[in-house]
Amino acid sequence: MPVYEYVCKDCDTRFDSLVRHHDQADSVDCRACSSSNVRRLVSGFATPGGYDDEFVPRQSAGNGGGGGCCGGSCGCGRA
């Protein structure tokens, strides 16, 4: 079952909702004010491992020495 994010156009509350069927995704009421005047938002998605583990080079303690990017072996010109 997909989880969709919504914003209420009446009270400006953002919330998410677990929807059983895709055809019901546009018939959700606001949790705060019970209004049906809500808009489904385009949401980002999570990936296993997260952003930090996959894309951000980590430096070792001290001066950042050792191999890897900006440790001298990637050729980026920074040491």
Residue 60 resides in a domain: no
Q: Quote the number of domains for the chain.
A: 1
Task: Using a pLDDT cut of 70, give the percent of the chain over it.
Answer: 53
pLDDT band at 34 (very low <50, low <70, confident <90, very high): very high
0.85 surpassed by pTM? no
Write the CB contacts of 28 (distance below 8 Å, at least 6 apart in sequence). 4, 6, 17, 19, 36, 38, 40
Residue 52: pLDDT over 50: no
**Does 17 fall in a domain?**
yes
Residues 30 and 8: beta-carbon distance below 8 Å = yes
| Within-domain flag for 53 | no
What is the per-residue pLDDT for 6? 93
pLDDT of residue 54: 44
Residue 25 inside a domain? The answer is yes
Residue-range definition of the domain harbouring residue 24: 3-42
CATH of the domain at 27: 2.20.28
CB within 8 A of 6, min separation 6: which ones?
14, 15, 16, 17, 28, 30, 38, 39, 40, 41
pLDDT at 65 exceeding the cut of 80: no
